[in-house]
Structure 1
Amino acid sequence: MHNSTIQSFLLEQLPLQEVHISGNSNHLQIIAIGEIFFGLSRVKQQQIIYSSVASYITENHIHAVSIKVYTPEEWNRARKLHADTSMSY
């Protein structure tokens, strides 16, 4: 299964601003960004994504998945932090 298929599926099913998928069907990494996560616990945030891709897992299209979720504000901070820490001097 192509990562773009899962990315499109998540964008169609949930009100997300961005979805980034990497890896392969053995271990898929999902980064989801959306206001939908605001005010929810990390567990609840991940459950939203997991429940959306559960059928892909039960049908053996995905073996394992790791999920990171961010509100747009959290995503902007995380990207800035990553950019700041990966600078070479």
Structure 2
Amino acid sequence: MIGLKQVEAMIKRRLPDAQVVVKDIKGGGDHLEALVVSAEFEGKTRVRQHQLVYSALQEALDSEAIHALALRTYTPQTWEMTQSAL
């Protein structure tokens, strides 16, 4: 099992400017959800954004320390617009 703070740190190593929130979906520690906001996502497709996050977590995914990962990725601008809509 991998800790939520460890996952956050792994993402931030790859995307240093990122705001990251990681949650355990099922309570077992291996089905996670991550919200990642980074300027590095600017101009990239959603698929490419997710690939950047997955690349940060590749070792944990390969070892199945993380079995499932739901991602929500935003640029700072799209995150701001999303928050304004609420």
For residues 28-70 of structure 1, the C-alpha deviation after alignment (integer angstroms, 9 at most, x for no partner) is: 1111111100011111111110111111011121110011110
Identity %: 24
Q: Looking at CA atoms only, which structure, 1 or 2, has the larger radius of gyration? A: 1
Three-state SS of the structure 1 residue aligned to 2:48 is: helix
Aligned residues: 82
Which ranges in structure 2 are unaligned for 5 or more consecutive residues?
none
| 1: CA distance, partners of 2:11 / 2:22 | 10
Give the TM-score normalised by structure 2: 0.84
Determine the C-alpha separation between the residues in 2 that align with 1:12 and 1:52. 8
TM-score w.r.t. structure 1 length?
0.82
Identify the structure with the greater helix proportion. Answer: 1
**4+ residue segments displaced more than 3 Å:** none
**Whole-angstrom CA distance in 1 between matches of 2:71 and 2:51:** 9
Q: Deviations over 1:1-43 (max 9, x none)?
A: 2101110121122233301101153311111111100011111
